[in-house]
Amino acid sequence: MAISEVLEAERPLVEDDVVDGCVDYKGRPVNNRSKYGGWRSALFIIGVEMAERFAYYGVSSNLITYLTGPLAQSTATAAENVNAWSGVASLLPLFGAFLADSFLGRYRAIIIASLIYVLAFGADQFDSQHPQESKLKSSFFNWWYFGMCMGTFVTLTVLNYIQDNLNWILGFGIPCILMVVALVVFLLGTKIYRYSLKGEEKSPFLRIGQVFVTAVRNWRITPSAIALEEEARGTLPHQSSEQFKFLNKALLASNGSKGYGKVCSVGEVEEAKALLRLVPIWTTCLVYAIVFAQSSTFFTKQGVTMDRSVVADFQIPAASLQSFISLAIVLTIPIYDRIFVPIARTFTRKPAGITMLQRIGTGMFLSAASMTGATLVEMKRLKTAEEYGLVDKPNVTIPMSVWWLIPQYALLGVSEAFTMVGLQEFFYDQVPTELRSVGLSLYLSIFGVGSFLSSFLISAIENATGGDGRDSWFANNLNKGHLDYFYWLLAGLSFIQLVVYLYFAKSYIYNRGNAS
- Predicted confidence at residue 410, as pLDDT, reads 93
pLDDT value of position 514:
47
Can you name the residues that pair with 418 across neighbouring β-strands? none
Average pLDDT over every residue of 246-273: 72
Looking at residues 306-326, what average pLDDT do you find? 82
Helix (H) or strand (E) holding 196: strand 195-196
CB 18 within 8 A of CB 130: no
Cβ neighbourhood burial of 456 (10 Å; 0-12, 13-18, 19+): middle
Are 408 and 248 within 8 A, CB to CB?
no
More confident residue, 129 or 501: 501
Q: What length is written for the chain? A: 516
Position 324, amino acid: F
**At a CB cut-off of 8 Å and minimum separation 6, what does 411 contact?**
328, 366, 367, 369, 370, 373
Exposure string of 106-142, with b = 16+ CB inside 10 Å and e = fewer, is bbebbeebbbbbbbbbbbbbbbeebeebbbbbbbbbb
Higher pLDDT, 380 or 209: 380
- In this predicted model, what pLDDT tens digit does every residue of 403-429 receive, in sequence order? 999 999 999 999 998 998 899 889 888
Whether 355 and 138 have beta carbons less than 8 Å apart is answered as no
Provide the β-strand partners of residue 467: 470
pTM, two decimals, is 0.74
Lowest mean pLDDT among 14-23, 199-208, 411-420, 440-449: 14-23
When mean pLDDT is compared across 159-168, 266-275, 281-290, 459-468, the lowest value belongs to 159-168
C-alpha to C-alpha distance for 459 and 486, rounded to whole angstroms? 12
pLDDT-derived band at 82 (thresholds 50, 70, 90) equals confident
Question: pLDDT tens-digit profile of 461-471?
Answer: 988 887 777 78
Q: Give me the residues paired with residue 306 across strands.
A: 398
Supply the DSSP symbol for 477: S
In this structure, is the dihedral angle defined by the CA atoms of residues 499, 502, 507 and 512, taken in order, positive or negative? positive
Average pLDDT over residues 271-277: 85
Task: Check: CB of residue 278 under 8 Å from CB of residue 429.
Answer: no
Task: Give me the pLDDT at residue 260, please.
Answer: 47
* Parallel/antiparallel/unpaired status of strands 309-311 and 314-315: antiparallel
Instruction: Tell me the C-alpha distance between 197 and 288, whole Å.
Output: 36
Say if CB 235 and CB 266 are below 8 A apart: yes
As a whole number, the mean pLDDT across the chain is 77
Cα–Cα distance for residue pair 166/112, rounded to 1 Å: 33
pLDDT band at residue 3, thresholds of 50, 70 and 90? very low
Lowest mean pLDDT among 72-86, 95-109, 223-237, 261-275: 95-109
What confidence tens digit (pLDDT) does each residue in 25-57 have?
A: 666 776 766 676 677 777 777 777 777 777 777
CB contact set of 459 (below 8 Å; sequence gap of 6+):
76, 80
In whole angstroms, what is the distance from residue 331 CA to residue 469 CA? 47
- Other CB atoms within a 10 A radius of the CB of residue 99 amount to 16
